[in-house]
Amino acid sequence: MPMYGNAQPGDMPVSFPLAYYNLKSDTARMKFLVKSINDSLYGGQLHSVYALASKGLEMAIENHVDSMKGIFYFYIAKAFTYEYNKPDSAIFYYKKVFPYFNDKLSYYNLISVREIMIGFLHLDKKDSAFAYLDSLHNRLDTLSLTNPRRYSISSDMATVYEYYGMFKTAIALYKNSIDGKRKAGFPKSVGLPMANLAELYDESGDDTNAVKYAREALGYLAGNNMPYKGTASNLSVYYSNLNRIDSALFFNRQSDSVARLMHDDAQLYITNPLNYVDILCAEKKFEEAKKVLGSVKAWMEKLGDKADKVRYLISSATIDTGMHRLVPAAATLQKALKIAKASGQQVYIVLILQNLADVYSKLNNFPRAYQYQREFMLQKDSLTNDETKSRLADFDVMYKTQQKDESIALLKKNNDIKEIQLKNSRKMNGLYLGGFVFLLAATSIIFYQWNKRQKVQSQKTKAELQMQLLRSQMNPHFIFNSLNGIEYFILQNEKRQASVYLNKFASLIRIILINSRQDVVVFADDIQTIKLYIDLELLRFNHGFCYFTDIDQVLLDNDYRVPPLLIQPFVENAIIHGFGYSDKKNLILKIAVLQRGEYIVYTIEDNGVGRTKAGSFNAMNKPNHTSLGLQITKQRIDVFNEQHHSQSRVDIEDLYDANQQPAGTRVTVKVKSI
């Protein structure tokens, strides 16, 4: 769930300060209460908001001060939102604000619309949430470009798109919010949209970027407040997904300490313990995880919402799966799936379907496993299609907004020119002529620069399209070869091996789907993908070879980017052709990666039959075979060189033993690091 700054109520008694009683008029007391409420909200001391607002409303009614009535209704609604977690009551009181603030762009009117939208989101009323979302869209265009509220509202609208799985639109709105606040001169207010953007990257499977944005957001959110607490908790999840346990534990404790100060029971006894359960499961400490989960149950029934409930059930199923209690795990996941579908939690639906396919595969119930795997892929495809539609809609909105901004700027420029012309109307004709020549020269220079930029952009676009075409050729080729391995086990009637292979293949396909739209990926992630591919081939060849890797630690520890799956065809050739035709017993594949200046150098070496002998076997057994993977890889490197002005290349060397007999192949790939 994206962060809205929600917190649970405490039961601390509220006492009015002595300064309140020393004031001599109700007007002064009402102003005092408004300031006290704002201080309480800002400091996260939510237990006093309802009492202060109720007292203020009582005085406003007695004194017939309409504007104050609207303000205190607004704060009572905030108490039901953030203190008591009752969105239906909050919506009721937010609607009472509108008659007192008719201006749709006024603070109390605008924020009430925003809070009603989020309230309907919590109540799982999608149509109502989107109705108020549309209202905010209409108002957004009328706000000034320098108004920070414009970009705060943009961020709030993104949370709705995020909740319903429309990730690309949400990301565009978050980035618009961050950039807009910085340009408008409010850089310190970007923390919350940046934290929510991190959450989106996590839900999209990109935990590296999630950590990056969340860590930066904490710098802006420092302090004992709701967004800081939520972002620290989310960071724990991201680090846990990356298997960085120490960091996950550290940020979970950070969130705990702030939640304790704020008396936030939901964070303290539900969200953060569930984070800890995930950490324990990652360490395979399932018994300890089960005890922690048991402590969550009572609090879940008291304070948990549907998202918490689904996450609780997924954690329970993960523990049962780890303890080989597969039948209860399947039943728990079925229950979680029902709740997630009813509330439209698309991200959880996809995750649960994937887990169900895995559990039924381990139960050897392959028809059910296939059913859930198929539904999982369809849901992923559906999510992607929704994202594409949302992206187009977002581009349309952004384009119209950009047109309006450009029209305003152009109108201002024309007015400035007319004013200058009026002031200079009595100057000499020679001055006009000089100005005309200057404008002509300036226009010529600008046109020349524009034309040059257009050519560069055209070349860049062409190169990007070529790279996309090559990637689209590469992925089917790679997937086809992997499916051959699954077919082999099925034909051999090795069901368990086929199941293991299918699960690894599903993980590999997930990574490919994520990376297929990217020109470059994180080096460490790409190496993990190559290792997963080799593991698949080990299964296929019944562990008929072994492999070793020697990776420069500098490359793993830093954020280097490389083209995805660039060396996979060379690894494939070494295994399929080098080892496939060999009768040696000690077949070895070595992969070394080193940093050399601004380049990354891969070395793939095998002790197979060598290229000449492999070519002979291929000519005999596969007369029409062409090495599609190698051709595409060389073309990818050519396009990469054109894009990045580099001298990346591939060198292939035949190896010989002491008797000058073929002893394998060594491939060296040199690619510029970015």
Task: Compute, in degrees rounded to 10, the torsion defined by CA atoms 30, 31, 32, 36.
Answer: 100
Distance CA 631, CA 545 (A): 26
**What is the Cβ-side half-sphere exposure of residue 202, based on CA atoms within 13 angstroms?**
26
Average pLDDT over residues 456-466: 49
Q: Which pLDDT does position 221 carry in this prediction?
A: 80
Q: What is the band of 426 on the pLDDT scale with cuts at 50, 70, 90?
A: low
Q: What is the band of 73 on the pLDDT scale with cuts at 50, 70, 90?
A: very high
Tens digits of residue pLDDT in 550-574 = 999 888 888 888 888 888 889 988 9
Q: Which pLDDT does position 412 carry in this prediction?
A: 57
Residue 577 DSSP one-character state: I
Tens digits of residue pLDDT in 467-518 = 454 444 445 655 666 677 677 767 777 777 777 777 778 877 777 777 766 7
pLDDT at 187 over 80: no
Tens digits of residue pLDDT in 321-367 = 999 999 999 999 999 999 888 877 777 888 888 889 889 988 888 88
Please give the structure tokens belonging to residue 330.
Answer: 């399947």
pLDDT at 450 over 50: yes
Distance CA 226, CA 196 (A): 13
Q: Which of 364-373, 408-417, 589-598 has the highest mean pLDDT?
A: 589-598
pLDDT at 5 over 90: no
Per the model's pLDDT, the better-predicted residue between 83 and 312 turns out to be: 312
Distance CA 289, CA 266 (A): 19
**Longest Cα pair distance anywhere in the chain, in angstroms?**
107
What does CATH list as the number for 24-114?
A: 1.25.40
- DSSP assignment string, 7-25: -----------HHHHH--S
Q: What is the band of 629 on the pLDDT scale with cuts at 50, 70, 90?
A: low
Task: Compute, in degrees rounded to 10, the torsion defined by CA atoms 304, 306, 310, 316.
Answer: 30
Please give the structure tokens belonging to residue 546.
Answer: 């072994």
- Residue closest to 638 by CA, chosen among 453, 462, 478: 462
pLDDT at 128 over 80: yes
Q: Which CATH architecture has domain 508-672?
A: 2-Layer Sandwich (3.30)
* DSSP SS3 for 550: strand
pLDDT at 462 over 50: no
Please give the structure tokens belonging to residue 272.
Answer: 């953060």
The answer as to CATH 3.30.70.1230 being correct for domain 141-218 is no
* DSSP SS3 for 670: strand
Q: Which phi and psi (to 5°) does residue 589 adopt?
A: -115, 130
Distance CA 642, CA 166 (A): 35
Q: Which of 60-74, 388-402, 634-648 has the highest mean pLDDT?
A: 60-74
Distance CA 98, CA 507 (A): 51
Per the model's pLDDT, the better-predicted residue between 542 and 528 turns out to be: 528
pLDDT at 92 over 90: yes
| Cα radius of gyration (the chain) | 31
Domain boundaries, the chain: 24-114, 141-218, 305-421, 508-672
Tens digits of residue pLDDT in 378-416 = 776 655 555 434 443 443 444 344 445 445 545 555 555
pTM to 2 decimal places: 0.47
pLDDT at 93 over 80: yes
**What is the Cβ-side half-sphere exposure of residue 672, based on CA atoms within 13 angstroms?**
14
Q: Distances in Å between the alpha carbon of 478 and those of 483, 587, 627?
A: 9, 23, 12
What does CATH list as the number for 305-421?
A: 1.25.40.10
Q: Which phi and psi (to 5°) does residue 479 adopt?
A: -65, -40
Which residues in 79-93 are b (16+ Cβ under 10 Å) and which e? bbbbbebebebbbbb
User: Per this entry, what is the length of the chain?
Assistant: 674
Distance CA 354, CA 352 (A): 5
Tens digits of residue pLDDT in 10-56 = 444 556 777 888 888 888 888 888 888 887 776 666 677 888 888 88
Distance CA 601, CA 591 (A): 11
Q: Which pLDDT does position 445 carry in this prediction?
A: 73
- Residue closest to 502 by CA, chosen among 529, 475, 516, 482: 482
Site of tokens 């990356």: 242
Per the model's pLDDT, the better-predicted residue between 106 and 327 turns out to be: 327
Q: What is the band of 287 on the pLDDT scale with cuts at 50, 70, 90?
A: very high
Looking at every residue in the chain, the average pLDDT score rounds to 78
pLDDT at 305 over 80: no
Q: Do domains 141-218 and 305-421 have the same CATH topology?
A: yes
Average pLDDT over residues 366-374: 86
